[in-house]
Amino acid sequence: MIHSNFEVLQLGLQDYQDTFEAMKHFTQNRNASTKDQLWVVEHPAVFTLGLAGDPKHLLQETTIPLIQTDRGGQITYHGPGQVIVYVLLDLKRQGFYVKELVRRIEQSVIATLAELGVQAERHPGSPGIYLTKEYAQLAGAKIAALGLKIKNHYSYHGLALNVKMDLSPFQAINPCGYPGLQTIDLASLGVTQRDSEVANVLIQQLLGQLSTTEE
């Protein structure tokens, strides 16, 4: 069954804290008739720390701000050249639980990367998307991060896909709490599509995954 209950908002470059507050406000004020939304954004350089995250995963002092959030997971980095999609979804209406939501979001990213000629996979117990063993020294490098908050069966926060960005800030952290975890972007793999083109593919994959309920 297909639901046509989504709005896609292309928000461009947005301050992280302002967007975080807007997500919370939207979620607190929505009801059973509110359309689900996908927010496509980009943030200036910022580190974000999950609700139970350990600040010790920030390894050095930096001019990049660190913001505490209420999503799951540890520390990550957002910056220009990264496609971020926030998933504001009514899980009860869609008929699936959070593990299924995570699976569908991850599948959207895997399918998007496949369209761009990149082979990627899940790692059980470590939300996000990683390069496969075909990439030799880059095998296991993380190319997309995922973190969600569920409140009253509504989701917010979402995913971040590295397209063409300065990856050096990741060296100042243990990405997602994993010491030595390598991060990568599409440009480093020879993908030349612009952020907007990658975002369009990703949105179509997300709409397909999140709008279909299994009979």
Q: What angle do CA 126, 132, 134 make, to 5 degrees?
A: 160
Outline where 33-124 has alpha helix (H): 91-94, 98-115
- Measured between alpha carbons, how far is 134 from 147 in angstroms, rounded to an integer? 26
8 Å CB contact between 161 and 115: no
Could you tell me the two tokens for 213?
A: 């309920």
Residue 215: pLDDT band by 50, 70, 90 thresholds? very low
The pLDDT tens digits of the residues spanning 35-64 come to 999 999 999 999 999 998 999 999 999 999
8 Å CB contact between 16 and 143: no
Outline where the chain has alpha helix (H): 16-29, 91-94, 98-115, 195-211
Outline where 66-166 has alpha helix (H): 91-94, 98-115
Residue given tokens 């967007």 in the structure block: 19
Q: What is the mean pLDDT of residues 23-35?
A: 96
Residue 2 has pLDDT above 50, yes or no: no
Whether 103 is catalytic is no
Q: Which of these is catalytic: 40, 85, 163, 176?
A: 176
Confidence (pLDDT) at 1? 33
User: In this prediction, what percent of the chain has a pLDDT beyond 70?
Assistant: 96
Cβ-based neighbour number of residue 16 at 10 Å: 19
The pLDDT tens digits of the residues spanning 63-76 come to 999 999 999 999 99
Q: Are strands 36-42 and 6-13 parallel, antiparallel or unpaired?
A: parallel
SS3 content of the chain, % helix, strand, coil (to 5): 35, 30, 35
Which domains, ranges and CATH numbers included, belong to the chain?
A: 6-210 (3.30.930.10)
- Measured between alpha carbons, how far is 131 from 143 in angstroms, rounded to an integer? 7
User: In this prediction, what percent of the chain has a pLDDT beyond 90?
Assistant: 89
